[in-house]
Chain A
């Protein structure tokens, strides 16, 4: 009798622990997913408006991370100031990349544009390699708030996780409002529908695309800071894998759709973290990429995307 009670209590504890660890993995997944969502927002906006896959977007994140690293660890600046500097640097970088490398190729074959974007990605990685070296930099977490402890410390939610989720929700909502309510936002929608017609209606197409790159790149800076705060190691290649996965997230959610990028990002982060925890950490990336392939084959337009047909 007595042992049976003990046994039940023990198994309850086990169930409770398993449940707690699941929640912890889920929350970590949402946190990682929020970062993917921020990166995916940049991808999806640029893809929706300039109709190009900006392969270098992930590397802008890495640059954003290095700027914060240098200003905080090197120059001892206040984290908030360093984030603003990082956003400014990335914005300028994004606009410059667009002006120098992508604008001359407007109207060229998508293949040519993609290869150029790969070139830009390579360029940024190697500049970082020359300037900062290939060694891993220990990134100082810029979120210095206390962690949230639940159930007497059985479930700890890191403050950076909470901040990441909140920041990405704010940005997603803000961006949606920006696109719907402002003049520039509506110009973006127009350019994404039909560049030629937008031009004829007096919209500055080049300017609108430049603004899109500016917004996408400044978001990349924020994403870079949050990514490096959650996973505090920084190398010239830090941005490339998350960048590619964020593109997967953007496709998953439906390329061109802002809420789609957000949902896709969160789902991808959760799937990745849960596969790492419960299936195999070796195969987690393979699972993420399989999702991309399945989505593209079953619903090529993603969860919230629109259909496009070629005219004969």
Chain B
């Protein structure tokens, strides 16, 4: 009799996570359908329509960051940097093949290139960074993000008949032939990237990101990563290779941030690495989405990213106070969720509640 109960419990658990994940996918699809209906019936202002692709960018990068913050348990303040790598790598590719390749294939390849470039940089950054802990790790990821942005701002890249030319000084020192094409013009960035992305592609990419992240979490690898988060020493004692799994999680997270960058780059005709879009302030904004949506809660990240981007646009008068409100909510949330006193208080409340339920059961 009890054995039967066990099996049922085990199965219940599996189906519970699956159900939860399906709700998340469903929510995205439903939102997409609603937006499409609203757009076709003319209920969406052109301002909001212009924001649809950025929404998707934020959602993807927030989900990616949540993998690092919530699942790996390390604070990265450099995800804007990985986004930047994905954006520039893919934009350069698309610009170079603008005339010679059909749009669909070009974007698909750009996506692969952006994700791979960000993954590579994430892997290289991760090797030294993941040896550090806590605050140091956070500040070093911030440093790496700034370095990436700085280097891209100083980078000149061009292509002509004799191949790729590259310089860290100025456009002239590229020594290009007359017919050459400038790909990256230092601080002026990349101009003329084909607008290959749209809202539908964005939503598909969100779904792909979710598929990767949710399956990652609910797999052997994900469990290993979470065990390191919960107790590194215990994880080592049961044979988990801490460095390996940290690197895997960080690389996957960086490459998904790169995907967000690809989407971002192909929605603009001019791509610059400004503090506003790829600086640490952007990394912090993404962190705000993750924290307010709930650390480790993937669905929460999606909702927070959309709501927090949408809200100030809807309530125009509020926009001056938007960042201030974010800041206050962020502080309040952290204190409420993490303060030892608040945790104790919640635990006691919960115990009382559960205790009552148990008593009722027995009665």
The reply to whether A and B meet directly (CB within 8 Å) is yes
Q: Report which A residues bind B (CB closer than 8 A).
A: 47, 52-53, 101, 104-112, 114-116, 118-120, 122-123, 125-127, 129-130, 244, 247-248, 251, 280, 282-283, 285-286, 289-290, 292-293, 296-297, 300, 310, 312
Minimum CB distance partner of A297 in chain B: B128
Whether the pair A122, B334 counts as a contact (CB closer than 8 A) is no
The complex places the Cα of A297 from the Cα of B331 at a distance, in Å, of 32
A106–B342 Cα gap in the complex (Å)? 12
Chain A contacts for B331, CB-based, 8 A: 101, 116, 119-120, 123
- Of A52, A119, A247, A293, which is within 8 A of B144 by CB? A293
In this complex, how many residues of chain B approach chain A with their Cβ under 8 Å: the count is 49
Interface flag for B136 (CB, 8 Å): yes
* Contact A126 B168, beta carbon cutoff 8 Å: no
Q: How far is the CA of A247 from the CA of B138 in the complex (A)?
A: 12
Determine how close the nearest CB of chain B comes to the CB of A286; give it in whole angstroms.
Answer: 4
| B339 contacts the other chain (CB 8 A) | yes
Name the residue on A nearest B320 (C-beta).
Answer: A130
Partner of A292, one of B73, B140, B323, B327: B140
Distance of B273 from chain A, by nearest CB (Å) = 11
Q: How far is the CB of A9 from chain B (nearest CB, A)?
A: 33
Interchain CB contact under 8 A, A244 and B142: yes
Q: Tell me if B318 is interfacial: C-beta within 8 Å of chain A.
A: no
Interface SS, B side: helix
Contacts of A105 in B (CB 8 A): 334-335, 338-340
| Residues in A neighbouring B138, C-beta threshold 8 A | 53, 114
Verify B153–A120 contact, CB threshold 8 A.
no
Chain B residues near A129: list those with CB within 8 A: 323
Identity of the chain A residue whose Cβ is nearest the Cβ of B139 in the assembled complex: A247
| Additional pairs, 13, CB under 8 Å, beyond known A101-B335, A310-B233 | A105-B334, A114-B75, A116-B335, A120-B331, A122-B323, A130-B321, A244-B142, A251-B136, A286-B146, A289-B146, A293-B144, A296-B128, A297-B128
Q: Give the residues in chain B near A286, CB-CB below 8 Å.
A: 146-147, 150-151
- CB <8 Å contact, A296 and B132: yes
Asked whether A116 lies within 8 Å of B334 as measured between CB atoms, the reply is yes
Neighbouring A residues of B147 by C-beta, 8 Å: 285-286, 289-290
- How many Å lie between the Cα of A110 and that of B136 in the bound state? 11
In whole Å, how far is B76's beta carbon from the nearest beta carbon of chain A?
11
Residues in A with CB closer than 8 Å to B187 are 282
Within 8 A of A (CB), among B309-332: 320-321, 323-324, 326-328, 330-331
Q: Is B303 an interface residue (CB 8 A)?
A: no
- How long is the Cα–Cα vector from A282 to B132 in the complex, in angstroms? 28
- Which residues in B have their C-beta under 8 angstroms from that of A125? 323
Set B74, B323, B327: member contacting A120, Cβ < 8 A: B327
Contacts of A119 in B (CB 8 A): 327-328, 330-331, 334
**A247 to B288 CA separation, bound complex (whole angstroms):** 22
Q: Are A293 and B146 in contact (CB under 8 A)?
A: no
CB distance from B55 to the nearest CB of A (A): 22
For A53, list chain B residues within 8 Å (CB). 135, 138-139
Most buried by B among A105, A107, A285: A105
- Bound state CA distance, A52 and B131, in angstroms? 19
Instruction: State the CA gap A296–B135 with chains docked (Å).
Output: 12
Cα-based distance from A104 to B331 in the complex (angstroms): 11
Some 20 contacts from A to B, beta carbons below 8 A apart, are A52-B135, A104-B341, A111-B74, A111-B134, A112-B337, A115-B287, A120-B331, A122-B288, A122-B330, A123-B324, A248-B143, A280-B154, A282-B150, A285-B147, A285-B150, A292-B139, A292-B140, A297-B128, A300-B136, A310-B233
Within 8 A of A (CB), among B6-39: none
Q: How far is the CB of A96 from chain B (nearest CB, A)?
A: 12
Q: Chain A contacts of B291 at CB under 8 A?
A: 115
A101–B136 Cα gap in the complex (Å)?
A: 21
- A312:B233 contact, CB within 8 angstroms: yes
Known A-B contacts A280-B154, A293-B143; the reply to A127 vs B324 at CB < 8 A is yes
Q: What is the bound-complex CA distance between A130 and B318, given in angstroms?
A: 12
CB of B275 to closest CB in A, whole Å: 9
Is A126 a contact partner of B75 (Cβ separation < 8 A)?
Answer: no
CB distance from A113 to the nearest CB of B (A): 8
Selected from B143, B287, B327, B335, the residue in CB contact (under 8 A) with A104 is B335
- Residue in contact with B334 in the complex, picked from A115, A280, A292, CB distance below 8 Å: A115
In the complex formed, the residue of B with least CB distance to A97 is: B331
Residues of B within 8 A of A120 (CB): 327, 331
A312 to B237, CA, bound (A): 11
| Nearest 8 A/B pairs, CB to CB | A112-B338, A289-B143, A119-B330, A123-B327, A282-B154, A122-B327, A286-B150, A119-B331
Residues of A within 8 A of B153 (CB): 282
A129 (CB) vs chain B CBs: closest residue: B323
Which residues from 121 to 135 on chain B have a C-beta closer than 8 Å to any C-beta of chain A?
A: 128, 131-132, 134-135
Q: Does B159 contact A (CB under 8 A)?
A: no
Check if A122 sits within 8 Å of B135, measured CB to CB. Answer: no
* Nearest residue, chain A, Cβ from B275: A237
Q: B142: which A residues are within 8 A, CB to CB?
A: 244
Q: Contacts A282-B187, A285-B150 given; indicate if A110 touches B135 (C-beta within 8 A).
A: yes
Closest to A106 in B: B340
The answer to whether B268 has its CB under 8 Å from any CB of chain A is no
Q: Does B284 contact A (CB under 8 A)?
A: yes
Q: Which residue of B lies closest to A104 (CB)?
A: B339
B284: contacting residue among A106, A109, A118, A289, CB under 8 A: A118
Known: A105-B335, A118-B284. A296 touches B73 (CB 8 A): no
